[in-house]
Amino acid sequence: MFHVKRVKKESELKKLYALRYQVYCNERMFLDSKDYPDGLEHDEYDATAIHLGAYGPEDTIIGSVRLVRSTKMHFPIFDHCEINDLPTDASPLEFAEISRLIISKRRRADIRRSNALSPLQVNTVRQDFTNFGISNLLMELFRVMFSYSKHRNIKYLLAAMEPSLLRLVQNYHFNFHPIGPITDYYGQVVPCITSLAEIEKQMSEKNMDFYLEFAKHMTDPSISFLEETMWPPLEFQ
């Protein structure tokens, strides 16, 4: 069992950054651990990002993702990827980037062992998003992230995805489309974009039962605009 929640307290953010350090510096070695002597991986985008953490038994953090926003189309993906085409019908505040999507190595191994005899069936209606599986954890992270995006009138989500992850989320009707060539950005990734309107349309047309299960969370009353006292902050770029 697991649950996903927004992470705002400094003590909890440090645990999230420590998990990112473990994955990005120690497990996958995308980043040099010498650059993070405190054992916490963080960057310039974290201060104003929405951070989501996935928590397992005993409230142990097992995964995370952040939603990066900008007033001037300043996103991590532009620092590393060649972008060929973007929609012109939205302001910078109507874009956000999905970034630092990770699941701990130990938890990935546990999930794979427990699901070894149960291959993923993307057309099966899932009655409960809390079943502990790799796809369930990803979908719950995406579900909560989608809800936060809806509440903030975000129209488009950017992401740099590994091809295997791109195929998985497309199977669940998160139709991210490539907007540039594959590049080496913490591994081989494809820069992509999707619109929230298209996600809802595809889900409702392709698998209504799955859509209804997902849609009941889209306007989650526990997610409030009051979480940010002012958006954007005066110093935000």
User: Tokens at residue 82, please?
Assistant: 């060649």
* Residue 101 belongs to some domain of the structure: yes
* Residue 233 belongs to some domain of the structure: no
* Residue 181 belongs to some domain of the structure: yes
User: How many domains does the chain fold into?
Assistant: 1
Burial letters 70-82, b for 16+ CB under 10 A, else e:
beeebbbbeeebe
* Residue 57 belongs to some domain of the structure: no
Q: What is the residue-level pLDDT of the chain in tens, covering all 237 positions?
A: 678 889 999 999 999 999 999 999 998 888 999 999 999 999 999 998 999 999 887 888 999 999 999 988 999 999 999 998 899 999 999 999 999 998 887 655 554 444 443 443 333 333 333 333 557 788 888 888 888 898 888 999 999 999 988 888 888 788 899 999 999 888 889 999 999 999 888 888 887 877 777 776 666 666 554 454 344 444 444
Instruction: With CA atoms as reference, report the closest residue to 106 among 6, 14, 22.
Output: 22
pLDDT at position 57, please?
A: 79
User: Tokens at residue 200, please?
Assistant: 């809802």
- Residue 159, burial from CB neighbour count under 10 angstroms (0-12, 13-18, 19+): buried
Determine the structural domain holding residue 78 and report its residue range.
64-227
How far is Cα 153 from Cα 209, in angstroms, rounded to an integer?
Answer: 25
pLDDT at position 219, please?
A: 62
pLDDT at position 231, please?
A: 45
Instruction: With CA atoms as reference, report the closest residue to 67 among 150, 123, 189, 173.
Output: 150
* Residue 237 belongs to some domain of the structure: no
- Angle subtended by helix axes 105-114 and 134-151, to nearest 10: 120
pLDDT at position 209, please?
A: 78
* Residue 73 belongs to some domain of the structure: yes
pLDDT at position 223, please?
A: 57
* Residue 22 belongs to some domain of the structure: no
pLDDT at position 237, please?
A: 42
* Residue 234 belongs to some domain of the structure: no
| CATH code of residue 186 | 3.40.630
